[in-house]
């Protein structure tokens, strides 16, 4: 029981990270119909943004303030990178075949991975301790760590803010409109390009948040850190039904929990294969994912 609880708590924290990242994939897919392969590198850049921020502004002493600054820094940095990637690499291809955009996305992703190795160095860097991890209290003999609580709290807060933006604000309404009928929205006075930029900014900010949270828990960062987690999160998005926001969150948690139980109960060597097995099963038996609907194409 105690062991199960421990795995569940871990799974929830892994899952909330997946959920944050899966949202980015699903939002971009919803609005542009493309897999943003560079999303995992935007995540990586978020971690490095905070890393250099804390280095230059000496945020080395752990405190709640430094944590907040680091979190905001990573978020903003990732958002800027996401914004630029979209503007410089994807926007010029808005009317090109989808294959070209996909190839570009791959190019951007590789450029960041290997450019990162040149600029930051290929070896892992230790991420600064922005906040001291403490064993706060125990729940049925399971220690509850401060970092885990922070992960839960920050992710849930971000999800809350996101759903407020998407479902309650003008921008959110415009985003949903553009993702259903991009041909009609300009007639309603919506600037599609602005909305697409917004989508990238929000998705990337979420990736930045995820990056800082993960880096605090596992304080080793390197330019390839996004590859595995990005893949798993994409699978989570497909699992939940790509294009569906709720699906991305639920898919993220389910995948995180599943993966953690798998490792916890001994099959850790198969961890990397797990998300792929899930992907293949989903594609075979319910290709639209849990909450996805086949968009009834207008014929």
Partner 1 sequence: MKKYIIFLVLVAGLGVVLNSFLNSYIQAIFISFIINAIMALSLNFITGLADQFSLGHAGLMALGAYTSAVINKEFLGDQWMFIPVGVLAGACIAGVAGYLVSLPSFRLKGDYLAIVTLGFAEIVRVVILNWSHVGGARGYNGIRKFPDFLLSYGFAVLLLFITFMVMHRLKVSWFGRNLWAINEDDIAAEVMGLEIAKTKRYAFTISSFFAGLGGGFYAHHLGYISPGSFGFIVSVQILIITVLGGLGSLSGSIIAAALLTFLPEALRSVQSGGLDLRMIIYPILLILMMILRPKGLFGRREVYEWLPARLKTKWGIKQ
Partner 2 sequence: MSDKIILSIQDLSIQFGGLKAVDAVTFDIKEHELLGLIGPNGAGKTTVFNMISGFYRADSGNIIFADEKINDLTAAQVNRKGLARTFQNIRLFRSLSVIENVLMALQQKKHNGHLKDWLHSLFNTSYHQQIEKDLDLEARELLNIFQLDKYCSEMAGSLSYGAQRKLEIVRALATRPQLLILDEPAAGMNHQETEDLKKLIRFIKEKFNLTILLIEHDMKLVMTICDRIVVLNRGKKIADGLPQDIKSLPDVIEAYLGKRPV
Please give the residue ranges that form the binding site for partner 1 (CB under 8 A).
Answer: 33-35, 89, 92-93, 96-104, 106-111, 113-115, 117-118, 122, 231, 234-235, 238, 242, 269, 272-273, 275-276, 279-280, 283-284, 287-288, 294, 297, 299
How many residues touch partner 2 under the rule CB under 8 A: the total is 3
Q: Which two tokens stand for residue 59?
A: 């945020």
Q: What's the CA gap between 274 and 281, in Å, rounded? A: 11
Give the binding range for partner 2 (CB under 8 A) out of 145-153, 182-190, 261-269, 291-299.
Answer: 291-299
Residue from 36, 33, 69, 39 nearest 52 by CA: 69
Is there binding between residue 299 and partner 2 (CB under 8 A)?
Answer: yes
Minimum CB separation of residue 298 from partner 2 in Å reads: 9
- The item of partner 1, partner 2, none sharing an interface with residue 135, based on CB under 5 to 8 Å by kind, is none
On whether the CB atoms of residues 229 and 43 are closer than 8 A, the answer is yes
Q: What is the CA radius of gyration of the chain?
A: 19
Residues with Cβ within 8 Å of residue 34, at least 6 apart in sequence: 28, 90, 98, 101, 102, 105
Is there binding between residue 296 and partner 2 (CB under 8 A)?
Answer: yes
Q: What's the CA gap between 71 and 213, in Å, rounded? A: 8
Chain length of the chain: 299
Q: How many CB atoms lie under 10 A from the CB of residue 67?
A: 21
Is there binding between residue 97 and partner 2 (CB under 8 A)?
Answer: no
Q: In this complex, which beta carbon is closest to partner 1, that of residue 184 or of residue 277?
A: 277
- The item of partner 2, partner 1, none sharing an interface with residue 84, based on CB under 5 to 8 Å by kind, is none
Q: In this complex, which beta carbon is closest to partner 2, that of residue 123 or of residue 297?
A: 297
CB-hemisphere CA count at 13 Å for 216? 34
Minimum CB separation of residue 177 from partner 2 in Å reads: 16
Ranges assigned E (strand) in the chain: 125-126, 135-139, 142-145, 220-221
Is there binding between residue 58 and partner 2 (CB under 8 A)?
Answer: no
- The item of partner 1, partner 2, none sharing an interface with residue 161, based on CB under 5 to 8 Å by kind, is none
**Residues in contact with partner 2 by the rule CB under 8 A:** 296-297, 299
């Amino acid at each position: 029981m105690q062991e199960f609880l421990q795995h569940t708590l871990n799974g929830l924290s892994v899952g909330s990270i997946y959920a944050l990242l899966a949202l980015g994939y699903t939002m971009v897919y919803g609005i542009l119909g493309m897999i943003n392969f560079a999303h995992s590198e935007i995540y990586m850049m978020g971690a490095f943004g905070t890393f250099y921020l804390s280095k230059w502004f000496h945020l080395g002493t752990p405190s709640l303030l430094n944590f907040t600054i680091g979190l905001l820094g990573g978020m903003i940095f990732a958002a800027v990178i996401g914004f630029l990637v979209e503007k410089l690499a994807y926007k010029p291809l808005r009317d090109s075949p989808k294959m070209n955009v996909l190839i570009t996305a791959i190019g951007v992703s590789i450029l960041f991975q290997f450019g990162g190795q040149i600029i930051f160095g290929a070896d892992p860097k230790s991420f600064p301790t922005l906040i001291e991890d403490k064993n706060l209290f125990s729940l049925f003999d399971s220690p509850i760590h401060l970092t885990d609580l922070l992960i839960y709290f920050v992710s849930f807060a971000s999800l809350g803010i996101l759903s407020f933006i998407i479902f309650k604000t003008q921008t959110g309404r415009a985003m949903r409109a553009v993702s259903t009928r991009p041909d009609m929205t300009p007639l309603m006075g919506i600037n599609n390009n602005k909305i697409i930029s917004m989508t990238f900014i929000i998705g990337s900010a979420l990736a930045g948040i995820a990056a800082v949270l993960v880096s605090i828990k596992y304080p080793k960062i390197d330019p390839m850190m996004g590859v595995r987690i990005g893949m798993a999160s994409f699978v989570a998005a497909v699992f939940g039904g790509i294009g569906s926001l709720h699906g991305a969150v639920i898919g993220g948690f389910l995948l995180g929990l599943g993966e953690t139980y798998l490792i916890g109960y001994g099959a850790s060597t198969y961890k990397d294969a797990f998300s792929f097995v899930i992907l293949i099963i989903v594609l075979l038996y319910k290709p639209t994912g849990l909450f996805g609907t086949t968009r009834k194409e207008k014929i």
